[in-house]
Homo-oligomer: A and B are copies of this chain.
Amino acid sequence: MYTLLKQFLAKNMAADEAVLDAFCQKFRLKKTKRNEILLSAGDVCPYIYFVNSGCLRIYMMDVNGKESTRFLVTEGRFGTAFPSFTLQEPSLAYIQSIEPTEALYINSHDFRELLDTIPGWERVYRINLERDYIASIKRIESLITMDATQRYKQLMETTPTLIQRLPNKIIADYLGISQETLSRLKSKK
């Protein structure tokens, strides 16, 4: 249950088993079916999740019901409605499990406590933040510099697994294009 999480910690932090256990005990396990909603827009996001298996999708919905995927979170990664969880304010985004998913979760209060009490954890979390931030910078770059075809090609090169694994329309709104456009550029080349 905690294997992946411990691996995540061990990568950037030297800690003995007892500390790792103390850390992990703050997390609970949640198993979801496909397409379960874990958070609705308007609510304050209480939890940050660490995905053991499956996939979480952070997405928004506009007034016409059109959805846009902000992030996709797969095995071995932390994910949450980040602005809401971090600032404890109402979320603009929904969280949904688009596959049957097993995830660990911890509430905001306990999470902050870990940052205060587990030596080295603030560093690990900071490095994880840097990584996520870099990924989001690259995403911004692709959105302002590339057209739909280039963005799709890039996604195929960097994370082909995602494309195989997820339905077309999720990929499309992750790329910021319509389902039909994606379908057309797939058939072209």
Contact = CB atoms under 8 A, between A and B. Distances in A.
Contacts of A136: 133, 136-137, 140
Interface string A108-146: 000000010000001101100110111011111101110
> Chain A binding site: helix, strand, loop or mixed by DSSP?
helix
Copies in the complex: 2
Contacts of A141: 60, 68, 70, 92
A62 interface: yes
A170 B21 CA distance: 51
Interface of A: 60, 62, 66, 68-70, 82-83, 86-87, 92, 115, 122-123, 125-126, 129-130, 132-134, 136-141, 143-145, 173-176
A-B pairs with lowest CB-CB distance, top 9: A144-B176, A143-B143, A136-B136, A133-B133, A126-B126, A83-B134, A68-B144, A129-B129, A68-B145
